[in-house]
Amino acid sequence: MSPPTAIETEVHYLAGTQNVASADEPVISAGVSGQSGRRSSQGGAVDDFGATRKRANQREASASSRPLDTHEALEQRVRQRTAQLSELNELLRQEIAERRKMEAALQDSRERLRHLSIHLQKIREDERTSLSRELHDEFGQILTGMKLDVSWIKRRLPGNDGLILERLNSVLAALDHTIITVQQMSTMLRPVALDDFGLRDAAELAARDLMKRTNILCHIVSEPYGMGLDEAVSTGAFRILQEALTNVMRHSGAHEVTIILKKRKDVFIMEISDDGKGITKKDLVNPRSIGLTGMHERAHALGGTLAIMGVRRKGTSVTLSVPLRPVKPSSKEE
């Protein structure tokens, strides 16, 4: 049986008191009838009898009113406690309702922030794409045109003016340098390969770039084309890949990194694993790990998941999984 509640305990205790009071009752009435009968028959002590009678009456009265008082007191206390408990219950109900409301508001605000973040990322991506195209198409063409013109002038230079030739060569070298810089800037903003050929080629370019800039060996294991990635998945996956490779370069101390691109059933999987020092649990849960948070947000925006795991001195792996929807006719095929 469960232990009695505060109220039950109190009721038991008071009920016990009540029983004691009732047990007194027969003792008192027996005393009154017995003693008074004997004294009156002795023919005297009327005062005594009166006093005794009075005392007996008082005792009788108090004895008979005690259980009633106790019972009343008990009922009153129970009523008070019940009222207190209902008041507490009501407060609790209000608090629970308040908390539920706050939780819903928090959830709502989180959703809004997530949507805002997705929206901002899309705007950023669109801006990068247009800037990249502008740089590539406009500046690239103008610079190439200038280079052709300067070369033409150089070929038709009358006589052999060493000073002018030197100046023209210096202009040509500056133009070459600027053309390469513009190409790099354009690719940095958004690799043309991503739009022209898809994720696989863009990943290859990123891997080559990493090997050029570091001593890290980079392998790509990819399924043949036709994974059916739409533009949003290609872009999101590529941005996650870029952040993962930057992290490998900056933090891992790895010698090798492997990029796997594959499709299992209707799920696209991208895995980037290195053989470095291994990301720590602290880094994984740190809210200031903005790069990692961004990767998670991107995966979530694609309706997918991202798993990051680190094993000390063995390395880190970043795995993106995205369930694929049928590709719209206008979107690019991988």
Ligand X SMILES: Nc1ncnc2c1ncn2[C@@H]1O[C@H](COP(=O)(O)OP(=O)(O)OP(=O)(O)O)[C@@H](O)[C@H]1O
Pick the binder of Mg ion from 132, 186, 242, 247 (CB under 5 A): 247
Q: Please say which residue, 110 or 250, places its beta carbon nearer to Mg ion.
A: 250
CA 52 to centroid of chain Cα atoms: 84
Provide the 10 A C-beta neighbour count for residue 65.
12
Would you tell me how many other CB atoms lie within 10 Å of the CB of residue 254? 21
> Of 274 and 297, which has the nearer Cβ to ligand X?
274
**252 is an interface residue for Mg ion by CB under 5 A:** no
70 binds, among ligand X, Mg ion, none (CB under 5 to 8 A by kind): none
Alpha carbon distance 324, 230 (integer Å): 9
Chosen from Mg ion, ligand X, none, partner binding at 316 (C-beta under 5 to 8 Å by type)? ligand X
Residue nearest to ligand X (CB): 291
The residue among 50 and 291 lying less far from Mg ion, judged by its C-beta, is: 291
**Sequence-separated (6 or more) residues with CB below 8 Å from residue 220:** 200, 203, 204, 207, 258, 259, 260, 261
Write down the least CB distance from residue 121 to Mg ion, Å.
16
Euclidean distance between the first and the last CA atom of the chain, given in angstroms as a whole number: 69
Q: Which does 283 bind (CB under 5 to 8 A by kind): Mg ion, ligand X, none?
A: ligand X
Considering the complex, what minimum distance in angstroms separates the CB of residue 252 from Mg ion? 11
Q: What are phi and psi of 243, to 5 degrees?
A: -65, -40
Nearest distance from C-beta of residue 317 to ligand X, angstroms: 9
User: In terms of C-beta density within 10 A (0-12 exposed, 13-18 middle, 19 or more buried), how is residue 24 classed?
Assistant: middle
Sheet with 315-323, strands from edge to edge, namely 217-222, 256-264, 267-274, 315-323, 305-311
CB of 286 to ligand X, least distance (A): 7
**Between 279 and 302, CB nearer to ligand X:** 279
**Cβ–Cβ < 8 Å for 67, 21:** yes
Q: Shortest approach of ligand X to residue 163 CB, angstroms?
A: 48
**Chosen from Mg ion, ligand X, none, partner binding at 277 (C-beta under 5 to 8 Å by type):** ligand X
Distance CA 190, CA 128 (A): 6
**In the complex, which residue's CB is closest to Mg ion?**
291
Q: Tell me the closest approach of the beta carbon of residue 184 to ligand X, in angstroms.
A: 20
Q: Helix, strand, coil % (nearest 5) of the chain?
A: 70, 10, 20
| Residue 297's binding partner out of ligand X, Mg ion, none, with CB under 5 to 8 Å set by partner kind | none
Q: Which three-class secondary structure state does DSSP give residue 210?
A: helix
Site string for Mg ion, 260-299 (x = CB under 5 A): -------------------------------x--------
- Provide the binding-site residues for ligand X, judged by CB under 6 A: 247-248, 250-252, 274, 276-277, 279, 283, 289-292, 316
Q: Classify residue 30 as exposed, middle or buried by CB count within 10 Å of its CB (0-12, 13-18, 19+).
A: exposed
Which one of Mg ion, ligand X, none interacts with residue 186, CB within 5 to 8 A by kind? none
By a kind-dependent CB cut-off of 5 to 8 A, residue 183 interacts, out of Mg ion, ligand X, none, with none
Closer residue to ligand X, CB minimum distance, 203 or 324: 203
- The string over 296-308, giving b where at least 16 C-beta atoms fall within 10 Å of a residue's C-beta and e elsewhere, is bbbbebbebebeb
Shortest distance, CB of residue 317 to Mg ion, whole angstroms? Answer: 16
Q: Which of 236, 247, 196, 241 is nearest to 222 (CA)?
A: 241
Q: How far is the CB of 250 from Mg ion (least distance, A)?
A: 7
Q: Out of Mg ion, ligand X, none, which partner does residue 193 contact, by CB within 5 to 8 A per kind?
A: none
Note the residues at the interface with Mg ion (CB under 5 A): 247, 291
